[in-house]
Amino acid sequence: MNNKTVYLNGQYVPLDEAKVSVMDRGFLFGDGVYEVIPCYLGQLFHFQAHVDRLTASLAGIRMANPYSTEQWLDIFKPLMDVSENQYIYVQITRGVAPKRDHAFPEKTPPTIFAMCNNILPFAGLETGVKAITLDDSRWQFCNIKAIALLAHLLHRQDAVEKDCAEAILINRDGFVTEGAASNLFAVIDGVLLTPPKSNQILAGITRDVILELAAKNNIACREANISLAELKTASEIWVTSSTREIIPVVELDGVAVADGKVGAVWHAMNSIFQAYKQSLL
């Protein structure tokens, strides 16, 4: 039994009672997008940037954002607990069509679902984690935060089965794209690098915040393609996301990253990032 209140198509209902038709295109085709928005003690983190990315994801699958930023806020507020660090999960599918047809249905209202969960502290934050590299077998629209995550799940599961926290994905040209559920940063020759935005990566909000904070705090940083060979020379590797924040990778493919300890640039950036979060509360 889970009686937590969630939002479904204009109603607030207990999670156990939130039901979607088997004809929903999200269920049948993975035809939808989602967004994950951190919410620290009731303060949504970079809310407009998350709404903008949701609008871009929807545009990427030829749907319109049904609500304004203010309307989304009104929807999310009743779900939030101001005494917790949480994240909003919001999912929009192309709705319930009368028949199973690949072509988009006409005039079908979207299915809109939102819930709020506590962010559990991630054990690897201070100690660092292990990661593996894998061939990136995803599609060519990784800039869309699509609910069809099967390739991501298979990559992450490969990592988990090798006792690793993340899979770092390498494209056909031998360059790093991102993690299975994160963006990637590496310190190479003293410079903090991250792959540029493209259709091969999700434009992470955490990634943008780190780039801004690095520039403001005189940490040498730039967007650059990183080959697998270059990644192996990195003195630090991080994977970043809204719910795990900035996770240092201390072992890659069974080999220690530098001395296998969490690096100085991570310590500096993590302190800056935590102070920045506090400043928004």
Catalytic hit among 19, 130, 145, 197:
145
**Of 13, 35, 53, residue with least CA distance to 91:** 35
Binding site for ligand PLP (CB under 6 A): 36, 152, 178, 181-183, 202, 204-207, 240-242
Q: How many whole angstroms separate alpha carbon 53 and alpha carbon 239?
A: 20
Are 116 and 86 contacting, i.e. CB atoms less than 8 angstroms apart? Answer: yes
**What's the closest the beta carbon of residue 208 comes to ligand PLP, in angstroms?**
8
| 145 catalytically annotated | yes
Based on CB atoms, which residue is closest to ligand PLP, 197 or 232? 197
CB of 42 to ligand PLP, least distance (A): 19
Q: Which is nearer to ligand PLP, 210 or 250 (CB)?
A: 210
Pick 52 or 253: Cβ nearer ligand PLP: 52
- Say if residues 220 and 192 touch (Cβ distance below 8 Å): yes
Pick 58 or 96: Cβ nearer ligand PLP:
58
To ligand PLP, the closest distance from the beta carbon of 277 in angstroms equals 13
Q: Phi and psi of 12, rounded to 5°?
A: -100, 120
Q: Where are the beta strands (DSSP E) in the chain?
A: 5-8, 11-14, 32-40, 43-44, 85-93, 111-118, 129-135, 166-170, 176-179, 183-188, 191-194, 221-223, 236-241, 245-252, 255-256
Shortest distance, position 142 Cβ to ligand PLP, whole Å: 7
Tokens 């060519």 locate to: 140
**Cβ(186)–Cβ(161) below 8 Å:** no
User: For residues 96 and 152, what is the distance between their CA atoms, to the nearest angstrom?
Assistant: 25
Catalytic amino acids? 145
